[in-house]
Structure 1
Amino acid sequence: MNLFERQLRVQRGYGLLFLSAFLLLAGGVTELSAQMKNRHVQSWELLTPKLSGKRGETVYAKIRFTLTPKAHLYTTMKYEGEGPNPTEITFDTSFVQLNGAIESSSKPILHFDPNFSVNSDSVYTEYWEGTVTLTIPLKIAKNAKRGKRTSWVNILFMTCDDKVCIPPMDQRFEIEFNVKKG
């Protein structure tokens, strides 16, 4: 075997090594993205994909989530010291603003939470279980341009069950707004 044939064989070997590494990494990325799904949440649904209102009016975005049995999603209640990350709801503020309290279709549960109790200190958390609809009051700015535009609402949330907590994750929804004359 001459020098040229050896170099060609080495190059093929590196090519196979590179291809193997690429396929391994691609499989890892696929696995990582599959792990990024929150196993406690069965579904999210934007019930109001289109909202319409006049400048200065309040419209209501509604989002429903369903959790697996024994799982819970923490409310917007903030905790001192040890405790879960509260749910945070943010939205495009370029032409709407929050106008009042966010309401839920079911009353939150206030319960001792062993996931966040350290050194026998009792931590009571507030959370939802099952299927819950959140209603978010959004006031359209008085100077908003008329017409259709796409906006967004984002929910940063944390879930736990009796054995494990999943780090906070985002769920983002796009909403089509129609700002009417008025």
Structure 2
Amino acid sequence: MRSLTEGGLLLLALLALGVSTADGAPKPVVQWQIKAAPAKPVKAGAKFTVSITGHIDPGWHLYALEEPPGGPVATEVALTDGDPADLLRVEEAKPHVLPDPVFQKPTKFFEGSAGFTLYLQAARETAPGPGTLRVLVRYQSCNDRVCLPPHTDTIPVELTLAQ
């Protein structure tokens, strides 16, 4: 008789929790969207912002950008290599701070939605015209009983670069 691997056990747990798609693959509990991006062309070297929001399924939460040692995986926001801008810093909406039942320590987290503002600078050597930023968000989501493994989503942000 075969034993279940950790991945198989996780899939069974997710299916039991109802976190799956029609094809049986785990369904992300956070859906990302662009809240604000530059409407006008961005000049080479100019600073600009992009805001993203994660909509979190009921009963789940997403952790903040900074977490205590031995706690959950903190959310990370980055760009892919070769994007037409550099990420200068990221600010988050104010998270809740409460003892986490899974980690047994105070953590910072978001329920319902999580907002992040990215402060960026357009690359100086980028050719003018349409471009795409690929915002990477790596996060861990938990409910009051289980934590999913860290997951990375890619959010494409269309923008136009000017001379």
TM-score by length of 2: 0.74
In the other structure, the counterpart of 2:102 is: 115
One-letter amino acid of the counterpart of residue 161, structure 1: N
Query: Conserved in 2, the CA contact under 8 Å of 1:49 and 1:175?
Result: yes
More helix by share: 1
CA 1:170–1:58: 2 relative to 1, 3 Å: same
In the other structure, the counterpart of 1:18 is: none
In the other structure, the counterpart of 1:47 is: 35
One-letter amino acid of the counterpart of residue 109, structure 1: H
CA 1:140–1:31: 2 relative to 1, 3 Å: closer
1:171 shift after superposition: 1.2
- 1:144 aligns to 2:130 (yes or no): no
TM-score by length of 1: 0.67
Q: How does 1:1-182 map to 2 (within 5 A)?
A: 34-38=24-28, 40-41=29-30, 43-48=31-36, 52-80=41-69, 82-94=70-82, 95-100=84-89, 102-104=90-92, 106-117=93-104, 123-181=105-163
| Unpaired runs of at least 5, structure 2 | 1-19
One-letter amino acid of the counterpart of residue 50, structure 2: A
Query: Conserved in 2, the CA contact under 8 Å of 1:59 and 1:137?
Result: yes
Give the Cα separation in 2 of the matches to 1:47 and 1:160: 24
Give the Cα separation in 2 of the matches to 1:63 and 1:33: 28
* Number of residue pairs aligned between Structure 1 and Structure 2: 142
Query: Conserved in 2, the CA contact under 8 Å of 1:72 and 1:160?
Result: yes
Residue identity over aligned pairs, in percent, reads 26
One-letter amino acid of the counterpart of residue 80, structure 2: D
